[in-house]
Structure 1
Amino acid sequence: MAPLKYLEQEYPILDSNFRNFCATHGIFSEEDLLLHDLHVLVAFAEQQSTSERLKQGITQVLSIIDGQHQPWLNGMELLEDAQLNKHVLSTGCEGIDLLLQGGLRMGQLTELVGASSSGKTQVCLLATSNVAKKHMDGVVYLDTGNSFSPQRVIDFIRQNPDPAIDQAKHRILQKVMNRILCHSVFDIFTMFDVLHQLEVNLRSQMQKGDCQVRLLIVDSISSLVTPILGGGGSQGHALMTSAGFLLKKLAHEHNLVVLVTNHTVGGEGGISKPALGESWKSIPHVRLRLSHDQGSSIYNVSVLKHPSMASGKAARFTIYD
C-alpha cells in the first residue's frame, strides 16, 4: 500500500490540504488510515471548513484499498495463468530444486523457516547469484539484518563454473552484480515505501513491455514484523497482513518469485514452530523448513505447506563455504 504523497497525481482530491489533515492525525499512508477509527476521523473532518472534500478524500483512499484486492478468478482462468506465466525459477541448489520439481514458482510467495544458522540467508544468497547470473532480469534484496554479503554472492557464482564467466570474469561479474539491487530495511514502514516504489517501477516497465525484476527477497520478514506485534492492539497484525498481501500482489501481478525468511520460536513440547503466528501462516503459498547438520556443510529442507505437494517431503543439500 502506498504513502499518500504518491497518490495525488492519479487522484487529485488527495491534495496537500487532505494530506496535511491526515498528517495532523499521524496518517501518512493507506496503512495508517486503516488503523484509525474512521468514525472519529470523519468527525474531525466535519469540523473543518473543507469537510466535504476531506470526507471525499477518505472515501477515495478506502476505494483505492478495496481495489487492491485480487478479483475472483474461475478455474479456467487460474489454469491459463499457471500455464502461461507461473513457471519455476531455479534456486541454484539441486536438492531444493529437485524437491520443488524445478525450483521456486513465479507468481508465488515462498517462505524459508528455520532457526539461526539453518541456512536461510545462504539459500537467499545462492538464489540471488543464480538468478542474476542466468537471467537478464534482476533481483531486489531487502536486507533487514545486515546479512547480505556481496562477496558470498560472488563466491557462489564462481562455485558454478560457466565458460562465459571463465573467459571474461571481471566484465561478466560486473554485469551480474549490477543486476542485484540491495536495500537495507530496518522497519516495516520503510519496507512499505520500498515495495511501493518497486510497484511503481514495475508498472512502468510493464507498460513498456519490459520487466526487469524476477526475484524479490525479504531476509527476514520476521525481524520487521515481530517488533510491531507487541501489546494487545490489532495494529501490528493489520500491518503484518497488509505486508503479506502486498508481497503476494507483487508476485501475482508481475510474475515474480517472492522469497522471504522467517525464524522459529518455541512451541508445545519444546518443538520449534514458525514465528508470526496463525495470522501469518495462511499468507505464504509455500513454506519450507530448513535445518543444518552442525559441523558439516549438509542442510535439510522439508515441505511444511505447498499447494500441489504433500507436507513432510524432504531432501538434503550441500552449501560449501
Structure 2
Amino acid sequence: MRILVTGAAGFIGSHLSTRLLERGDEVLGYDNVNDYYDPTLKEARLARLQAHEGFRFVRAALEDREAMDAAFRDFKPDRVVNLAAQAGVRYSLENPQAYIDSNVVGFVNILEACRHHAVEHLVYASSSSVYGANVKLPFSVEDNVDHPVSLYAATKKSNELMAHTYSHLFGLPTTGLRFFTVYGPWGRPDMALFLFTRNILAGKPIDVFNHGHHRRDFTYIDDIVEGIVRTLDHVPRADPDYDFAHATPAASAAPYRLYNIGSNRPIELMRYIELIEENLGRKAERRLLPLQPGDVPESHADVQALQSDVGYAPETPVEEGIRRFVAWYRDYYGA
C-alpha cells in the first residue's frame, strides 16, 4: 500500500515507517522536524529511513494546509497514520498555542485531506492522558473521559470527537489509538527513561515526581508498532444496527473505533528506576518531588478490545525493553 505517516521523524513514526517499508509498503513521511527536542536525533532517524528505496519525505507542519494538500495530491495515499502532534503534558502549560496549532488545526487539515482524497483508513494517535482524573483502573475505552487535567489531553480528546464527526458525516473510516507511556531505542529525550539514563551516567540527580509513587503502563516500542500495523490493516466498518441506547465512546454506527494500546502490566516508577540502575551498573541520586500539575499518579491499559479485534498481544517485558534501550543509548551516544 501507499501509506502517509505524519511524524515520521519522531520516535513512534520512525519505527512504524521502518516496519511498513520492510513489509513492502511505500511510505511518505511528513514532519516539520521542530526543535521541541534535539532535531539531530530526528535527523538521524530520518537518515535511517532514507536508506529505503520506498521512502519519500516532506518537511512541513500539520497546520500548513497547502503543504498537506500537495502531499496528498502528489502521493495519493491509500491509508494514513497521523502520529505528528505537539507532545508533552507539562509543555502544554507553557505554550498552549502550539497544541492548538498542531493538534487541533493540524488534525482538521488531516481529516479534510483524507476526506477529499478518498483515503481508505485514517489511524491517529490519541493518548492515555485523556483519562485525566479517572480513578477506576484499568482504564477502559468504555469509560467516560470528560475530565482532562492538561491541555494536551484535551486536544487529544478533541481529535477523537473530530474523527467521529468525519466518520459519521463522510463515511471516513477512522481508528484512534490511546498510547500508554511508550519507551525504547530511539526514544524521546523528554521522557523519563531517557532523562534518567542521561543523568545517571552524568552523575546528576534524577527528579522523581510524586515521591516515586507513580505506576505506569510502560509499553515497548515494538509492541506499539505491532498494534498500529494490525489496526491499520483492520478497517472499521459502519454498523447500521448500532444500539445508541447503550452507546460507548469506543464505537459507533459510523466506521469509527477507539482502542487502548499498552502493555497491560503497570509497574511502580521506583522499580523502573531500579531496572535502569541495574543495566547501567550505577545508582541514581534521587530527588523526590511532589506530583506535577497535569500529571496523573497511575495508568493501566485495558487492551481487551484490541486483543479481540486484531489479536494484539504485547510481548516485551519491561526488563528486556530497558536492557535494549540502554544498549542503544550507550551505542548512539558513546556513553
TM-score range, shorter chain: 0.3 to 0.5
Q: Which has the higher contact order (CA 8 A, sep 6+)?
A: 1
Q: Which TM-score applies when normalising by structure 1?
A: 0.38
The structure with more radius of gyration: 1
